[in-house]
């Protein structure tokens, strides 16, 4: 479950996804802000223009009012309208449009009221008109300033928004990097330390290192990448260990018979004798030789001879105990090491083995001198028949040769030779 979650939400992928989401948010926010800012700037400019136009219109209207109607009219002006009046009417119409766009209340028809004539009743006195203009000017100035402050506030909010997004992205990236450091770099350093302890010349070191890595993999929280690397290393170690075991089997096994080879037999013989010296136990050894095997090879060929060797080796292995070490000593000669076994027990096992081989049918065995394939065996026991491995092997050989001389197909113990001498 954790491995699947780590694969699904790896730190690098999370940083990339978070960065993309942050960029989308920033781009969308910036686009919306620029659109809102453009509208607000346009509104501010419109209100400022209304304010300036109102101020200018007020000044022009004051000049127009002070000049008097008689001075404003000229003989050539149509219907009492002169150039200044036309300009003011144009300004008034333009101002009304701008004020409507800016959201201000439009002014009353000032010029129409001013041009009615001195004898016509005015709908609004000049002072009242000035008060209305002053209120409109103050309102335009106030709202223009308020819009400017809103724009400044929006800019600040946008800045805070950008900073918040950047801070969030930074914290997220930092948290992910911290997690990546904890789940990747630290385990990688631990893995490197374990690899330093590896001794490639010692097979047990590979096994122990793999076990330690497996233990740390189960206990620690790792990223999917490190888990994959660690698992690959463990698989590699497992392959090496399996190949080492196979090589060990090849090195300690005889190719033709699959029994242990002489070197492996000798190492265990020396070890068991040293252990027996400490524990006071006995170690027995049986040397076994196929009777008239050279004659069988000459008549039937080496391929048939190798088949006989393999079948006899299988019989030897089947008759031995789990603790016994059967080996091919060389040529047609075999040896069986019996740890913690006295001479009588070893003799019984060898005798049982001799009978099993004698009863086993072999191809063309009828042409043998005895009419069948048989074996002879010699038994020697530590410490009675030898205090070291070499004398023990030599004495087992002497017992074997005695069995051969006695007619073959028999088991002889070295102890029995000593009894015959005495």
Q: Show the CA angle centred on residue 227, arms to residues 201 and 200, nearest 5°.
A: 5
d(CA 106, CA 92): 10
For 376, other C-beta atoms within 10 Å of its C-beta total 25
Which contiguous run of DSSP H or E holds residue 334?
strand 333-338
pLDDT tens for 95-132 read 788 888 877 777 777 665 555 544 434 445 777 778 88
**pTM of the model as a whole:** 0.49
Provide the 3-class DSSP secondary structure of residue 10: coil
pLDDT tens for 337-370 read 999 999 999 999 999 999 999 999 999 898 888 8
The residues pairing with 413 across neighbouring beta strands, listed in sequence order, are: 379
Q: How many residues does the chain have?
A: 422
Walk along the chain (422 residues) and give the pLDDT tens digit of each residue.
444 444 445 666 766 777 788 788 888 888 888 888 888 888 888 888 888 888 888 887 777 777 664 454 544 444 444 567 777 777 878 878 888 887 777 777 766 555 554 443 444 577 777 888 888 888 888 888 888 888 888 888 888 888 888 888 778 777 766 666 666 666 666 666 666 666 555 555 566 666 666 666 555 555 566 667 667 777 776 777 777 677 666 778 888 998 999 999 999 999 999 999 999 999 999 999 999 999 999 999 999 999 999 999 999 999 999 999 999 998 899 999 999 999 999 999 999 999 999 999 999 898 888 889 999 999 999 999 999 999 999 999 999 999 999 999 999 999 988 765 55
């Amino acid at each position: 479950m954790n491995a699947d979650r780590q694969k699904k939400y790896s730190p690098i992928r999370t940083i990339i996804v978070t960065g993309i989401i942050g960029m989308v948010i920033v781009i969308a926010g910036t686009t919306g802000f620029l659109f809102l800012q453009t509208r607000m700037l346009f509104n501010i400019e419109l209100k400022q223009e209304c304010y300036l136009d109102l101020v200018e219109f007020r000044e022009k209207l004051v000049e127009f009012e002070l000049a008097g109607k008689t001075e404003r009219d000229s003989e050539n002006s149509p219907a009492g309208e002169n150039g200044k009046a036309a300009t003011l009417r144009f300004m008034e119409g333009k101002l009304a449009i701008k004020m409507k766009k800016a959201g201000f209340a439009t002014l009353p028809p000032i010029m129409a009221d001013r041009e009615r004539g001195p004898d016509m009743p005015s709908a609004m006195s000049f002072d009242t008109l000035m008060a209305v203009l002053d209120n409109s000017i103050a309102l335009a100035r106030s709202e223009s300033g308020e819009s400017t402050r809103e724009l400044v506030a929006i800019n600040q909010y946008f800045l805070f928004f950008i900073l918040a997004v950047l801070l969030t992205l930074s914290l997220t990236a930092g948290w992910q990097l911290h997690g990546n450091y904890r789940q990747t770099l630290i385990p990688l350093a631990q893995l490197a330390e374990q690899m330093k302890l590896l001794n490639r010349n010692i097979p047990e070191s590979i096994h122990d290192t793999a076990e330690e890595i497996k233990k740390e993999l189960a206990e620690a929280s790792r990223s999917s990448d490190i888990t994959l690397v660690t698992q690959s290393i463990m698989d590699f170690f497992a392959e090496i260990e399996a190949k080492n075991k196979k090589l060990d089997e090849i090195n300690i096994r005889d190719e033709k018979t699959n029994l242990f080879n002489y070197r492996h037999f000798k190492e265990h013989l020396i070890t068991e004798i040293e252990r027996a010296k400490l524990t006071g136990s006995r170690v027995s050894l049986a040397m076994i030789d196929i009777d008239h095997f050279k004659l069988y090879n000459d008549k039937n060929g080496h391929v048939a001879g190798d088949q006989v060797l393999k079948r006899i080796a299988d019989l030897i292995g089947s008759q031995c105990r789990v603790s016994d070490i059967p080996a091919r000593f060389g040529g047609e000669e075999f040896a069986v090491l019996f740890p913690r076994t006295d001479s009588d027990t070893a003799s019984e096992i060898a005798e049982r083995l001799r009978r099993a081989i004698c009863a086993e049918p072999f191809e063309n065995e009828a042409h043998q001198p005895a009419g069948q394939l048989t074996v002879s065996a010699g038994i020697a026991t530590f410490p009675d028949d030898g205090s070291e491995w070499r004398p023990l092997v030599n004495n087992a050989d002497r017992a074997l040769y005695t069995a051969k001389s006695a007619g073959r197909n028999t088991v002889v113990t070295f102890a029995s030779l000593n009894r015959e001498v005495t």
